[in-house]
Structure 1
């Protein structure tokens, strides 16, 4: 198994979050991008303001590395129009994958029409530009019933509005990695939450983000049916080591 082609190497901290200067933050992003190119990972997941940098480095290296970015990150509470504007900028800058944070708080409040509208419009934008679209549902913020319901909602919107050949390019993704849980509970993917997503989002693809820290855990996720794994410890996982990363 070429596990590297399942790994989305991820660096999404701002300079402030990392406790470093802006110059150091750019350098850290460069290191992650260069490592992803060298290790031949599937994708580098980077902040929107770093997409241009990643594109330049990928082109210079003549690499097949894909470039992903997050939209309306990490809370997902902006309007779908604002989400689309941010996504269009990322597309123009060279992003291949668009990972939208679903407005899960609106979903929890029962505002399903708003959620359906953003999924429809933002997914259409991505697919029209031949991009991969992922919807982050933030499993740690949801009950098991809500994970099932939101996964099903996303699936139904996509299946009702797009042709079957689009399904492989739309994912339901578990987590941002930035949600703060109580009592040290997991804020990323777990086997339990991923199984719920797989059972209720199929035939859409699933991305397990956060919580995967070893090669064995990654293989387990892939064997369950996950198509992508998001981690800031991609090299450690690929090398068979334990990732010390929190994501």
Structure 2
């Protein structure tokens, strides 16, 4: 990372991007636009991340051999649905063509001391999508406490998460470098192949660079790749495109 300039960092960040539209007013037209933007002149995003109701449409647009993957969310954003409903959400999303599932843990129950609810939820969804990438959203901005963020990370990893993810992008505090540091250390200490996804509020290449450097410091050189690191963002692509075109951009950091 030391020798990379802004353009190289921007191109690298693009390859790690889960281009996201989880807006409440998202519609079919917005999904068409998102799929097009994920396959731009500067290269492809790693994935799009969308509401479950749009997965079948996105699969129809992208086809079955497109390198851009389709991620969707379950138990989102509240984290308080019954396990049976979340399992059904997951199975339908996979049937509709989703490649990746981003699951919100029952963080309110976890904060009340119910660790078992986290383990049960992750275990059940893991079983419902055994061949799909499972990203587990901790909602670190609500958990807040460093020891609890660490513990939630450990629980998710123990039950088979492929990634642990900071945030839904739907609360006041989303991705932070402090939470990222805790989560990356939990991944390192687990000695398992688990990825990390900061999400929400990352809107510039400069922001992205900070997370990339932190991850490399903790996980070592050559760890950063789409199978182990993603950015969850909607606005980041604008700044990536601006940097790659030689102009500048400074979007405000608000949610996704």
User: Normalising by structure 2, what TM-score?
Assistant: 0.80
Counterpart selection for 2:199 from 206, 209, 216: 209
Deviating runs (4+, > 4 A) in structure 1? Answer: none
Instruction: Output the CA distance in 1 between the equivalents of 2:238 and 2:101.
Output: 25
Aligned to 2:159: 157
1:161-240 alignment runs, 5 A limit: 170-179=162-171, 181=172, 187-202=173-188, 203=192, 204-225=194-215, 227-239=229-241, 240=243
1:91 aligns with 2:94: yes
Aligned residues: 220
Instruction: Output the CA distance in 1 between the equivalents of 2:206 and 2:253.
Output: 16
* Bigger mean CA offset, 219-228 vs 42-51: 219-228
Per the TM alignment, residue 194 of structure 1 is displaced from its structure 2 partner at its CA by 0.3
Contact kept? 2:22, 2:49, Cα under 8 Å:
yes
Q: Deviations over 1:100-153 (max 9, x none)?
A: 011011111112222211111212222x2x210011111110122211111122
Per the TM alignment, residue 177 of structure 1 is displaced from its structure 2 partner at its CA by 0.7
Aligned to 1:11: 21
1:42 aligns with 2:42: no
Higher fraction of helix: 1
Per the TM alignment, residue 70 of structure 1 is displaced from its structure 2 partner at its CA by 0.4
Aligned to 1:162: none
Instruction: Output the CA distance in 1 between the equivalents of 2:44 and 2:182.
Output: 30
Structure 1 unaligned runs (5+)? 19-24, 159-168, 182-186
Structure 2 unaligned runs (5+)? 1-7, 216-223, 244-248
Aligned to 2:250: 242
CA RMSD of aligned residues (A): 1.8
Instruction: Output the CA distance in 2 between the equivalents of 1:3 and 1:92.
Output: 30
User: Normalising by structure 1, what TM-score?
Assistant: 0.83
Contact kept? 1:8, 1:234, Cα under 8 Å:
no
